[in-house]
Each structure stands twice: as structure tokens, then as C-alpha cells.
Amino acid sequence: MKISSKEEHEAALKRVSDLLDLELRNGSPEAEELDLLSLAISEYEDIHFPMGPLVCGRCYEEVDQLFDSGCNENPEDLKGQPIGQYHCPDCGAMVLAGAPHPQVCERCRDRKHPGFDER
Ligand SMILES: [Zn+2]
Ligand SMILES: [Zn+2]
């Protein structure tokens, strides 16, 4: 079994979660299918997501793509100052003095994430 597209990958993930809902007996055809699917999924993900899932630095959701935050805050300039972690005054993400502002998802970059104003 080989997964070669995003659609097949999604279908495989769905099938795995369906199979996991069943009580599978060892050696049953479904258990074997689950093994094969898991293997195919990890092979696909090794190729297409070699770094593991990307996580937005602000809402912590897994996303396909990250963007520069567009904030005016430059926590890396605060290197050596005893500030540690603080909330970015622009977007509210937790940032670390001395480290670059984390990248964020498209919705956070565009300030369209639900809950953006709830801080
Ligand atoms: Zn986000
Ligand atoms: Zn920010």
C-alpha cells in the first residue's frame, strides 16, 4: 500500500480512526489493514512532513504553513535582559526575550483567529 496524495493521506487517517473505534482482534483482516495503513501513513509523512507537524506560535494549532507574525515586536533584540517570557504586545503570543518571535498560522497573522480579541 502506498499513499501518494493529500487526499489519500486524509482518507487513510480517517480510515485509521474508524478502525481504531472497532475492537480489533489480533490477526483479523482489519488489524492487518490498520498495520498497513499506519505504515503507509508514516512513510507518506516522512516524505511530506519531515519536520513533524507545524504548530502556530500563538494559538498552538497544527497547521500546514506558518507565516511571519507581522508584529513590530522583536524579542531577539532583548537578548541578555532579564525579561524571560512575556506576551507580545502586538499579537499576545508568548515570546521569549532573546529568541525570534514565533511564526504563526495564517489566521493569527491576519488577526482573524477566533478569540483574538479575548485577551
Ligand atoms: Zn494560530
Ligand atoms: Zn506578536
pLDDT digits (tens, 9 = 90+) for 55-95: 999 998 889 899 999 999 999 998 777 788 899 999 999 99
Q: Is 114 exposed, middle or buried (0-12, 13-18, 19+ CB in 10 A)?
A: exposed
How far is the centre of ligand 1, averaged over its atoms, from the C-alpha of 86 (Å)? 17
pLDDT of residue 77: 92
Tell me the CA–centroid distance for residue 62 and ligand 2, in Å.
Answer: 18
Q: Which residues surround ligand 2, an ion (CB under 5 A)?
A: 69, 71, 88, 90-91, 93
As a whole number of angstroms, the distance between CA 83 and CA 95 comes to 10
Question: What pLDDT is stored for residue 117 in this prediction?
Answer: 63
Which of the ligands is closest to the CA of residue 71?
A: 2
Q: Distance, CA 111 to ligand 2 centroid (Å)?
A: 10
Percentage of residues of the chain with pLDDT beyond 90:
59
Q: How far apart are CA 23 and CA 106, in angstroms?
A: 39
For the segment 106-119, what is each residue's pLDDT rounded down to a tens digit? 999 998 877 666 54
Question: What pLDDT was estimated at residue 23?
Answer: 83
Model confidence at 37: pLDDT above 80:
yes
Instruction: Determine if residue 97 is left, alpha or beta; phi over 0 gives left, psi from -120 to 50 gives alpha, anything else beta.
Output: beta
Task: Identify which ligand lies nearest to the alpha carbon of 60.
Answer: 1
At 118 the pLDDT is 58
C-alpha 81 – ligand 1 centre gap (Å): 27
What is the grid cell recorded at 76?
A: 531577539
